[in-house]
């Protein structure tokens, strides 16, 4: 008997594939079904399918958008998994809410293929998904799997593209693989990327990234220049990582950046004088726990001379954080 549903590890994307209709004719194969399309339908799913119990009628499905006038994208996954006779023809039209999206379709033998609507389909309460046998077909329709997604209208426009590009570059530079880092970084707000705070000025103005917390993520290597492209960033936390190299002067040049936490890394060299100038204008820099990082360009690397200034800087940061 077939499993009631499939998910990880059968599907590396951990989608849940449930049995949609127990009242149709079940079809299956023990042979492998290949898939070369980007939708990555698992072989375990493609080896099962259904046809109408009454071979003279279409195969019907329904989708129910949450919004009465909602729009949907539907993905029909097909593979021919039955052994056909020489004169057998399986051919059918694919309809979405009475609109034909593919005429006279024939599934490929033991090869998964996905058919979908190119633009979101607006439904009136219920979306009707029909597979209708053509006149010359000798076999009823067959389908292996189906996915339906409702199109959501976000209350805000997409995140500022420069911020998106900067985050993608930061992600690639450090090889970050965080589950929430998918789609738009700030929109929708309830699904914004972990570690981000964004500004939402108005619905017509793209959100901006104003705070980025990458602490304790095992970051290695230099502080990437991609950070300077977050031009509205106010707070940057890179503490408790394994960052190396010097503290780049561009951080002091970021006009909006007020708090920088570099505590507990492996940064080296003198701190550029530009940070002392920015400190007069309100920027706070914390760098405790970097033994080879000295306070300014005129001193050597003996960290013992700078314990008190570093601690004082960290204490100032804590006080400011508490005020916020």
User: Which pTM value belongs to this model?
Assistant: 0.53
**Residues 137, 208 within the same domain:** no
DSSP string spanning 129-193?
A: EEEEE-TT-SB---BSEEEEEEEP--SSPPP-HHHHHHHHHHHHHHT---TT--S-SSSSGGGPP
Q: Show which of 95, 117, 151 is a domain's final residue.
A: 151
**Residues 205, 116 within the same domain:** no
Per-residue pLDDT reduced to its tens digit, 27-85: 888 888 888 778 888 888 888 898 898 888 899 888 888 776 678 889 999 999 999 99
What is the per-residue pLDDT for 123? 82
Report DSSP state, residue 296. S
The reply to whether 156 falls in a domain is no
**Residues 177, 201 within the same domain:** yes
More confident residue, 300 or 268: 268
**Residues 21, 140 within the same domain:** yes
Asked whether residue 2 carries a pLDDT value surpassing 70, the answer given is no
| Residue 17 pLDDT level (bands cut at 50, 70, 90) | confident
Q: Which two tokens stand for residue 239?
A: 């503490």
**C-alpha distances in angstroms, 280 versus 56, 147, 182, 222, 283?**
82, 57, 38, 26, 7
| Residue 310 pLDDT level (bands cut at 50, 70, 90) | very low
The domain that holds 270 is classified in CATH as: 3.80.10.10
Contact call for residues 71 and 153 (beta carbons, < 8 A): no
Asked whether residue 14 carries a pLDDT value surpassing 60, the answer given is yes
Contact call for residues 288 and 264 (beta carbons, < 8 A): yes
- Specify which residues 294 forms β-bridges with: 270
What is the per-residue pLDDT for 293? 92
Asked whether residue 292 carries a pLDDT value surpassing 60, the answer given is yes
Q: Show which of 128, 151, 174 is a domain's final residue.
A: 151
What is the per-residue pLDDT for 311? 35
Per-residue pLDDT reduced to its tens digit, 85-100: 999 999 999 999 888 9
**Residues 45, 139 within the same domain:** yes
**Residues 317, 194 within the same domain:** yes
Strand, helix or coil for residue 303: helix
Contact call for residues 47 and 3 (beta carbons, < 8 A): no
Per-residue pLDDT reduced to its tens digit, 210-260: 999 999 999 999 999 999 999 999 999 999 999 999 999 999 999 999 999
What is the per-residue pLDDT for 37? 79
The structural domain count of the chain equals: 2
CA atoms within 13 A on the CB side of 205: 8
Mean pLDDT computed over every residue of the chain: 85
The reply to whether 196 falls in a domain is yes
The reply to whether 63 falls in a domain is yes
**Residues 199, 277 within the same domain:** yes
**Residues 137, 185 within the same domain:** no
The domain that holds 37 is classified in CATH as: 2.60.120
Contact call for residues 233 and 211 (beta carbons, < 8 A): yes
Q: Show which of 151, 172, 193 is a domain's final residue.
A: 151
Domain residues for the domain of 67 are 5-151
Rounded CA-CA distance 84/89 in Å is 8
């Amino acid at each position: 008997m077939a499993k009631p549903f499939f998910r990880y590890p059968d599907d590396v994307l951990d989608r849940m594939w449930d049995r949609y209709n127990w009242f149709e004719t079940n079809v299956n194969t023990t042979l492998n079904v290949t898939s070369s399309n980007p939708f990555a339908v698992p072989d375990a799913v493609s080896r099962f399918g259904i046809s109408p119990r009454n071979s003279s009628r279409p195969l019907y499905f329904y989708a129910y958008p949450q919004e009465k006038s909602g729009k949907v994208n539907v993905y029909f996954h097909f593979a021919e998994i039955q052994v056909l006779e020489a004169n057998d023809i399986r051919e059918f039209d694919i309809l979405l809410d009475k609109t034909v999206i593919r005429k006279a379709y024939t599934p490929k033998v033991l090869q998964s293929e996905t058919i979908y609507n190119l633009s979101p389909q607006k439904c009136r309460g219920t979306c009707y998904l029909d597979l209708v046998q053509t006149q010359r077909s000798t076999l009823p329709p067959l389908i292996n799997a189906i996915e339906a997604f409702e199109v959501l209208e976000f209350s805000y426009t997409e995140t500022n593209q420069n911020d998106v590009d900067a985050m993608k570059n930061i992600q690639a530079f450090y090889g970050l693989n965080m589950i929430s880092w998918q789609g738009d970084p700030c929109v929708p707000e309830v699904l914004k990327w972990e570690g981000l705070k964004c500004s939402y000025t108005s619905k017509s103005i793209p959100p901006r990234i104003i705070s980025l917390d990458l602490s304790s993520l095992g970051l290695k290597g230099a502080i990437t220049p991609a950070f300077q492209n977050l031009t509205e960033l106010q707070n940057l936390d890179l503490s408790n990582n394994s960052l190396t190299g010097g503290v780049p002067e561009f951080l002091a040049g970021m006009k909006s950046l007020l708090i920088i936490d570099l505590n507990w890394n492996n940064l080296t060299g003198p701190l550029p004088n530009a940070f002392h100038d920015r400190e007069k204008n309100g920027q706070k820099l914390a760098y405790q726990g970097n033994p080879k990082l000295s306070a300014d360009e005129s001193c050597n690397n003996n960290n013992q001379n700078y314990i008190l200034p570093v601690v004082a800087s960290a204490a100032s940061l804590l006080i400011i954080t508490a005020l916020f």
